[in-house]
């Protein structure tokens, strides 16, 4: 346990609509109906921690749509990755995909989304929170995790603790190839699943050869896609476990890609499973954004994920 006297704090002046603390997620307890949680954009979250030399799984803030304002009670090293939410440091524009120093008394603010939906703010050593069931991942629906342990999102006057640390020698940037352009149409790698044969051939062809648009019904549970309806010969199934990225298709034919806060079981036929990096990319798509589904083989997807994880 870190001693209280060695802790520094960021004070929440404005919480924004949905700012939560996320580590890699809550695992090993899904059989009990407990949601996975974790960062919706694994890619940006991982690079934010990388910038500060934090190990994989270090808790960082997920800032949805901006609106957050934090004031430093002590000096600290921070890193910002993911969406451009119009960040400013004491009113001066602050670039994304880099680490920086926030001095005692300075204010870090997020306005509105410019590109992308979710930004990740990491602190050197990580934000301090008591793990619940092995994780600090904040899942509001389950009332588990987060900075207070009870699944609450950030609220005004909260104080986010971290271990006081010295200055990082240099400010780092994320390699340019990893600074994703969220304005471009998203190509989402999908591993076709077992029920793919239950969809009619022409609707299946269109699903992989036409653009989909992200619906307004998009949150940490899942993202609904609008486009040419998928036709399936099965309407519903007996409820069964659902993996991250599972693309389920309700009878209206508009698929829902299930993300970190999805329920643990569900009963719609599935087109397949998005790769973790495809889920991360989708999590940065605002309503109306164009996405394409690209079928991929499991071996290729595993290799891609291993290359990604080898960076950290």
Partner 1 sequence: MKYHPDSGLPRLENAGIDAWMIRLFDAIDEANMPWITALVEACEQALGDNLVDIVPSYTTVLVHYDPLKLDSQQVRDLLQSLLAGLTATDTGSDASIKELPVWYDPSVGPELALLQQQTGFSLERIIQLHSEHQYRVFALGFAPGFAFMGSLPAELELPRLSTPRKRVPAGSVALAGRQTSAYPQISPGGWNLIGRTPARLFDPTSRELSLLQVGDTVRFVPVDKEAFIRLGGDTTPTETLS
Which residues contribute to the site for partner 1 (CB under 8 A)?
27-34, 36, 132-133, 141-144, 191-194, 238-246, 263-265, 273-276, 298-299, 301-302, 305-306, 309
User: What's the closest the beta carbon of residue 182 comes to partner 1, in angstroms?
Assistant: 23
Helix (H, G, I), strand (E, B) or coil at 277: helix
For partner 1, the closer of residues 33 and 185 by Cβ is 33
Nearest-approach distance from CB 305 to partner 1, in angstroms: 5
Rank residues 188 and 191 by Cβ distance to partner 1 and give the closer one: 191
DSSP for 63-121, written as a single string:
EESS-EEEEESS-EEEEEEEEE---EETTEE--SSEEEEE-TT-EEE--S-SEEEEEEE
In the complex, minimum distance from the CB of residue 295 to partner 1, in angstroms, rounded to a whole number: 12
Q: Are 28 and 6 in contact (CB under 8 A)?
A: no
Closer CB to partner 1, 85 or 247, in the complex = 247
Q: Which of 300, 305, 255, 307 is nearest to 280 (CA)?
A: 305
- Residue 247 or 285: the one with the smaller Cβ distance to partner 1 is 247
The alpha carbon of residue 297 and the mean position of all alpha carbons in its chain are separated, in whole angstroms, by: 24
Shortest separation between residue 49's beta carbon and partner 1, angstroms: 17
Instruction: Give CA separation, 76 vs 2, 72, 85, 96, 245, in Å.
Output: 16, 8, 21, 17, 35
Least separation, in Å, of the C-beta of 238 and partner 1?
Answer: 5
Nearest CB to partner 1, comparing residues 235 and 263: 263
Q: Provide the 3-class DSSP secondary structure of residue 58.
A: coil
CB of 21 to partner 1, least distance (A): 17
Which residue, 191 or 230, has its beta carbon nearer to partner 1?
Answer: 191
The span from the CA of 21 to the CA of 127, in Å, is: 8
Task: Report the residue number, 19 or 140, with the smaller CB distance to partner 1.
Answer: 140
Query: 184 or 265: whose CB is closer to partner 1?
Result: 265
β partners of residue 293:
188
Instruction: Report the residue number, 107 or 304, with the smaller CB distance to partner 1.
Output: 304
CA distance 266 to 51: 37
- 106 neighbors 71 (Cβ within 8 angstroms): yes
Cβ-contact 301, 275 below 8 angstroms? yes
Q: Residue 308 Cβ, how far from partner 1 at the closest point, in Å? A: 10
Q: Are 279 and 254 in contact (CB under 8 A)?
A: no
Instruction: Give the nearest distance from C-beta 10 to partner 1 in angstroms.
Output: 26
CB of 9 to partner 1, least distance (A): 26
Calpha distance 15→68 (Å, rounded): 5
Q: Which residues contact 196 (CB under 8 A, 6 or more apart)?
A: 204, 271, 272
Give CA–CA dist 123/163, Å, rounded.
9
């Amino acid at each position: 346990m870190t001693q209280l006297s060695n802790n520094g704090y960021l004070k929440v002046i404005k919480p924004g609509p949905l700012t939560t603390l996320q580590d890699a997620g809550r695992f090993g307890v899904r059989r009990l109906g407990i949601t996975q949680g974790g960062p919706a954009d694994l890619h940006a979250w991982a690079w934010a921690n990388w910038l500060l030399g934090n190990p994989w799984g270090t808790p960082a803030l997920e800032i949805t749509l901006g609106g957050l304002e934090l004031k430093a009670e002590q000096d600290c090293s921070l890193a910002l990755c993911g969406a451009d939410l119009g960040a400013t440091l004491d009113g001066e524009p602050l670039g994304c995909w880099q680490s920086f120093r926030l001095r005692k008394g300075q204010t870090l603010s997020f306005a509105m989304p410019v590109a992308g939906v979710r930004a990740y703010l990491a602190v050197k050593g990580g934000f301090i929170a008591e793990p619940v069931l092995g994780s600090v991942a904040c899942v509001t629906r389950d009332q588990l995790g987060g900075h207070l342990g009870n699944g609450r999102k950030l609220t005004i006057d909260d104080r986010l603790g971290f271990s006081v640390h010295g200055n990082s020698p240099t400010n780092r940037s994320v390699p340019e190839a990893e600074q994703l352009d969220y304005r471009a149409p998203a190509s989402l790698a999908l591993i076709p699943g077992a029920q793919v044969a239950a969809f009619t051939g022409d609707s299946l062809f269109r699903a992989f050869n036409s653009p989909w648009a992200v619906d307004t019904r998009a949150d940490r549970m899942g993202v609904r896609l609008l486009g040419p309806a998928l036709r399936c010969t099965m309407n519903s199934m007996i409820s069964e476990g659902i993996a991250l990225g599972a693309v389920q298709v309700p009878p209206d034919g508009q698929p829902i890609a299930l993300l970190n806060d999805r329920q643990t079981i569900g009963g719609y036929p599935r087109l397949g499973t998005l790769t973790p990096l495809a889920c991360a990319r989708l999590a940065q798509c605002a309503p109306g954004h164009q996405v394409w589904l690209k079928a991929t083989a499991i071996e290729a997807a595993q290799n891609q994920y291993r290359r990604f994880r080898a960076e950290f």
